[in-house]
Amino acid sequence: MLKNSFLHIPGIGAAFERKLWDLGILDWDCIVCGRQFKSSPQKKEAITRYAQESIEQLFCNNPKYFADHLPANQQWRIFPEFRNSTAYIDIETTGLDMWDFEITTIALYDGKSIRHYVQRDNLENFIHDIQQYNVIVTYNGKSFDVPFIENHFGTKLNHAHIDLRYVLKSLGYSGGLKSCEKALGIDRGDLDGVDGYFAVLLWLDYQQNNNKKALETLLAYNIEDVVNLETLMLMAYNMKIKDTPFCNTHELPLPQVPEIPFKADHETIERIKGKIFASSSPYQY
């Protein structure tokens, strides 16, 4: 889909892109080869120049060029061409404020391999490992995960970044990651009802009580986030292309869900749920 995109070219909006498609100008090569369309000579020259530059940037394997020029809700377009260098990432923390709270775990999935990182164990390895990828996919990561990571490690993640929050919102799916999953039919099984606040309590249980089952449950939850991000990425991509001339040629099959190496501990989940219920009940004796 990226080769068929013109929205990253300055001066081209959705209506003009649609006009090009309707004229049979379906990719950058058509522009460079001189296919005619109505526009001023100056605009034609600029579009041709950007089309040639796009071909060169794709050849140089530079997704950041396109991510920097596409609107946030259109960055799904870079996905297929750079799928093999994409990492789905998600963090868990001790709270929401990066200045007062810490990262507890990070999960990374690249469609093949699952990696996990834990505070005071191997968390520092993440910043090395993430450099193996050119694209990151998150949900709300532009506002939360990436600033948290950059603050913790004191460095910038200069990757092309597809934040599914914006892509899914443009498709009518809003709220948190879990509500989008439910709306799209993704079932979390034993982890249904576990959320970011619950993840904080799991880490607290692990720290205070040395409950390794709590850590395993937290990692199962964290990893399920990134595994589901791949499924959501493919679902969103397929929904987006339905409104293009490429709906019959560009659709991608949904991924196989890998086995998560950690299992949620039912007893730990129910015990923490009980504490949450007790603390929120107006009738405490």
CATH number for domain 78-280, candidates 3.60.10.10, 3.40.50.12280, 3.30.70.980, 3.30.420.10: 3.30.420.10
Summarize the confidence of residues 189-199 as an average pLDDT: 90
Sign of CA dihedral 184, 187, 193, 196: negative
pTM of this structure: 0.93
Please tell me the predicted confidence (pLDDT) of residue 273.
87
Q: Structural domain boundaries of the chain?
A: 2-60, 78-280
2-60 against 78-280: fold identical: no
Question: Does residue 101 or residue 26 have the better pLDDT?
Answer: 26
Cβ atoms 4, 27 nearer than 8 A: yes
pLDDT tens per residue across span 10-52: 989 999 999 999 999 999 999 999 888 888 889 899 999 999 9
Q: How would you class 215 by CB atoms within 10 Å of its CB: exposed for 0-12, middle for 13-18, buried for 19 or more? A: buried
Summarize the confidence of residues 63-67 as an average pLDDT: 96
> What one-letter code names the amino acid at 254?
L
Please tell me the predicted confidence (pLDDT) of residue 40.
87
Please tell me the predicted confidence (pLDDT) of residue 56.
97
Nearest-CA neighbor of 169 among 177, 161, 157?
Answer: 177
Nearest-CA neighbor of 28 among 51, 45, 44?
Answer: 51
pLDDT tens per residue across span 262-281: 999 999 999 998 887 777 64
* Statement: residue 282 has pLDDT above 60: no
Summarize the confidence of residues 183-207 as an average pLDDT: 92
Q: What totals of helices (H) and strands (E) does the chain contain, helices first?
A: 11, 5
Could you tell me the pLDDT band of residue 96, with boundaries at 50, 70 and 90? Answer: low
Please tell me the predicted confidence (pLDDT) of residue 104.
97
The whole-chain average pLDDT of the chain stands at: 93
Summarize the confidence of residues 141-145 as an average pLDDT: 95
Which architecture characterizes domain 2-60 according to CATH? Orthogonal Bundle (1.10)
